[in-house]
Amino acid sequence: MTVTLAFDVYGTLIDTQGLVTMLRGMVGDKAAEFSRTWRERQLEYTFRRALMQNYVPFSACTAQALDHTCALYKTPLGPDQRTALLDAYRTLPAFSDVADGLALLRAAGFRLYAFSNGTAEAVRTLLDAAGVADLFLDIVSTDDLRSFKPNPAVYSHFLRMAGATGAETWLVSSNPFDVIGALSAGWRAAWVKRSPDALFDPWGIPPTATVPDLRHLAAAIAG
């Protein structure tokens, strides 16, 4: 049985905190906290919009979350600064283990897909910038359903697009909500615990495997 791996992109392959240095030149010492809040608000907006069935693309959630964060921290940005940040978000850096980890998994015979809240075009841009786009068989976006993770429908959509079943598919994500969403949909799931301080939600739905980075994933699946 060939195992299919569905990789979350933002926060798993791509570092959503990769603009802290750029932010420091705009908001000073608040940069790290500002960046975390921006990401938290971005995800909150996707959750709310999925529940409300009031869809906008992920990029719109990102921009609206930025505006909210600016207001929250009382750090207004000029139009050029705002545009520069949103443009830079399209080419956020990959984590250092991603290229090597994905290449090892591809060589081991796994079927690799990118599976994201971002549009296929936005994800392609990120993966191209990271130099890893060719390692994936395809990109599956929740944008196809005009919804977001962890709506159960988007996990079913992935299986249809990849020609896979939940029993032979693993979600790979650093986001606990995504891991739990996939497990609830009948998949297996690996949590990439990139920080020793990261916490998993205490819902009684543990990940199938936990790894510190992608280089450990093949062994965790086999074990």
Residue 93: count other Cβ atoms within 10 Å of its Cβ.
Answer: 16
Residue 1: count other Cβ atoms within 10 Å of its Cβ.
Answer: 6
Read out DSSP for 14-73? Answer: B-TTTTHHHHHHHHGGGHHHHHHHHHHHHHHHHHHHHHHT----HHHHHHHHHHHHHHHT
Q: Looking at 8, 97, 143, 178, which residue is catalytic?
A: 8
What sign for the dihedral angle of Cα 175, 180, 181, 187?
positive
Query: Catalytic annotation on 8?
Result: yes
Cα distance between residue 102 and residue 136, in whole Å: 9
Tell me which residues are annotated as active site: 8
